[in-house]
Structure 1
């Protein structure tokens, strides 16, 4: 028990650090796009998606941070309802906006001659709008199901007066919520995976055409394909880690708190670190980011010289 306490604090500190990194990275995306919008009074579609994605991830991080330092069992019923609904909203849009970004890259970069693809390619905004409306239906179904779980849990608390009974009811409730989130995370992952595979196929076709046309290796379309693929690979890998962490948490059913916190450490790598991959893959975001890093480096050097 004595060794458990410091390890618990170490893992909690790591989660807090991940959260701070995620807020800084996503906040940077929002700030750069906001400044750009103020300057030119226009924001491009890809920047709208990135900004919405960054906002949803900051909301997800803040909600998760509140549950780390203020567990559900210490909350009032209305607080539990607000936190869980906020969590569902933020998690849903965080996953779907990342998937919509993958669809955007596919439609903008891939080149297929099929009429249906060309139709979708010419109507990117409408496709994204339909995706948003479609996933709102999924969100409503998710919220209805979660509300049923919350009502059952509240009724269970009113019936049971002992601490052990309440703990048992909470464990069942937590398992149901985790399982529900895991299942509703499958559709955006599947859509993003299909977009990724189609983009790979498009790149392969493009490389085959290049061999016949004897174009140089620095073809801009090839570079665009590769950049989009890197971003989508990172999203799919981090998302797979996040999905697996939710699934493992459901399987473990909160049997070991230390393992529970360790898995959360892996799971929250996704909303915290993916923003920096998006920054590096976007030239408009990358340039000011490099400038900020240089200024920080110069500031640290000046501080060291002052100390010496």
Structure 2
């Protein structure tokens, strides 16, 4: 009886944690949007990095809402994931929110690389000179990836729904849904690895640029604590935190899917709870790293 009571208690505990993460994520992302919009209204213009942060924060809010709705739907309305229309809505919402959250964070990493790193390569210098066009082209390219991803997902969903209509037994549906979910996870993995790899390459190039800069500073006997060194260090910390948090998010998603197929409900709920850390906590990183956002946050904290 005690074990049964504990099993019934765990969903409520994880739900409370997810709601807390949801509130923190919405507050931090909403803060980024609010401060930048106020600055935009006051100055009449906004820097490229602030525009990226606004859209990134909005996408994170969308991802958090999708995760919360999906959580309650899984707990209370699991039959929604068997119907074709509802399944399309859930998967497409997840793909869109996760796509923009990941790609915009990757674009932010590329922006830091082009603005801070120093290489003598003509190609790199050309990209630095046209950083706005580079960001725009990457964003448009990511939209193409998103469309291809959704087309691929829609094909999987259509095939699964057609098979379910021809074979209406519950056992067939569940076994076929396992195959369908494997295809979905494989597709999402492939489309996720591309931006994650790009961000990883940006991180490695920033390390090489910092090493090159420090060697120059040693030769000129000026020391290491200059503005460019601090800029490199800040960018590296920002990118590595993004990589670590997103890796945690993605691994928790995979383990959650594996545990769900093996009917390990406790592990499934635990991984989903851990996964929400990425869109909720990562938004505090630009607040603490960006001088304008940090000053606004300290001002609000002082008043509170």
CA contact (8 A) 2:84 2:158 kept: no
Q: CA deviation at 1:157?
A: 3.2
- Displacement of 1:208 in angstroms is 0.8
Question: CA–CA distance in 1 between the matches of 2:297 and 2:19?
Answer: 23
Given the superposition, is the C-alpha separation of residues 173 and 16 from structure 1 closer, same or farther in structure 2, using an over 3 Å criterion? Answer: farther
Aligned to 1:93: 100
Quote the residue 2:139 is aligned against.
132
Counterpart among 198, 208, 225 of residue 215 in structure 2: 208
**Cα offset, 1:213, TM superposition:** 1.4
| 1:287 aligned residue | 295
Matched, 1:269 2:274: no
Structure 1 residue aligned with 2:65, among 59, 62, 70?
A: 62
Superposition RMSD in Å:
1.7
Q: 1:27 aligns with which of 30, 34, 39?
A: 30
TM-score, L = length of structure 2: 0.92
CA distances 1:124-158 after superposition (whole Å, capped 9, x unpaired): 01111111121122112211111012112322332
How many pairs were matched up? 296
Q: Whole-Å Cα distance in 2 between the matches of residues 2 and 83 of structure 1?
A: 31
**Residues 218 and 147 (structure 1), Cα distance of their counterparts in 2 relative to 1, 3 Å cut:** same
State the TM-score, normalized to the length of structure 1.
0.91
Output aligned runs, 1:1-308, within 5 Å. Answer: 1-71=4-74, 73-75=78-80, 77-255=84-262, 256-296=264-304
1:304 — aligned with what? none
Shift of 1:250: 4.0
In the TM superposition, what is the alpha-carbon distance from 1:204 to its structure 2 partner? Answer: 0.7
Unaligned runs of 5+ in 1: 297-308
- CA distance 1:183–1:250, change in 2 (3 Å): farther
Listed as ranges, the gaps of 5+ residues in structure 2 are none
Q: Distance in 2 between matches of 1:54 and 1:211?
A: 40
Contact 1:189 1:236 in 2 (8 A): yes
- Secondary structure (helix, strand or coil) at the match of 1:64 reads helix
Assess if the C-alpha contact under 8 Å between 2:156 and 2:180 holds in 1: yes
